[in-house]
Structure 1
């Protein structure tokens, strides 16, 4: 399991397994967010199995599937209140972690400057500098 901490509230990760969930709980995460649709690729763990494990280990579970490479404003609109209201710290996962990082950055752009978000993402191993126009657009949206 590869964890990429963005800040004290959110960490993102590539696809996790059911076996990873106990370690996620041991590490102190409170909410587990799945941004990867079920059946995105063959052999991917079923989200209902990960959900069951999350609940068994006392984690809040959020299933917010987003199509890879096609993050819509409606996806950001759903992610924003969820991440603000979630019990922290949050671990969000998808195939590579990028989708989760992009959702976080676009929703956070409503409250924080783009350069701060780009820096945090870079420290977690993601280059989101190409998102600046979308972050500027999100900055004008109500919170």
Structure 2
């Protein structure tokens, strides 16, 4: 499992497997957010499999799927709520990590400027500069 730490309390990853949940728990993650819809790709583990594995590893699991480049307000709000209420470190994943870091950037839990959020994503390996118009000041 390849995890990219964005902050001390938040990281993103490409698709995880059920067997990765124990490693995530051992690395200190207490919450996992799945940003993929079920069945998006052949061979993708189901949300139910991953939820069961997370719970077995002592990790809270949340499913906030987004697809097609759309980031509805409801998904952003749900992501922000999970991030704010999570105890300990949060790992969010999707196919490549891009949707997860985009949701985090849009949620702006830390109340950072647009430039700071774009730079933080860049340092994690993601170019979110096209989001600038949506981020405000």
TM-score, scaled relative to structure 1: 0.90
Tell whether the 8 Å contact from 1:30 to 1:87 is kept in structure 2 after alignment: yes
Distance 2:115 2:109 in 1: 10
Q: Secondary structure at the match of 2:16?
A: coil
1:110 Cα offset (Å): 7.8
Q: Could you tell me which residue of structure 2 aligns to residue 99 of structure 1? A: 99
Give the superposition deviation at 1:97.
0.3
* Structure 1 vs Structure 2 CA RMSD: 1.4
Higher mean displacement: 116-125 or 63-72? 63-72
Offset at 1:83? Answer: 1.2
Rounded to whole Å, the distance in 2 between the matches of 1:132 and 1:88 is 29
Give, in angstroms, the shift of residue 67 of structure 1: 1.4
Partner Cα separation in structure 1 for residue 68 and residue 25 of structure 2? 27
TM-score (norm 2): 0.94
Q: How far is the alpha carbon of 1:23 from its aligned partner?
A: 0.5
In the TM superposition, what is the alpha-carbon distance from 1:71 to its structure 2 partner?
Answer: 1.4
Given the alignment of the two structures, is residue 12 of structure 1 paired with residue 12 of structure 2, yes or no? Answer: yes
Return the offset for 1:120: 1.1
1:69 aligned partner: 69
Misfit runs of 4+, over 2 Å: none
Aligned pairs, number: 137
Matched, 1:54 2:70: no
Which runs of 5 or more structure 2 residues have no equivalent in the other structure? none
Q: Where does residue 108 of structure 1 map in the other structure?
A: 108
Q: SS at 1:44's partner residue?
A: coil
Once the 2 structures are TM-superposed, how far is the Cα of residue 135 of structure 1 from its aligned partner? 0.9
Q: Does 1:87 align with 2:71?
A: no
Shift of 1:109: 7.0
Shift of 1:91: 0.3
Give the Cα separation in 2 of the matches to 1:47 and 1:68.
19
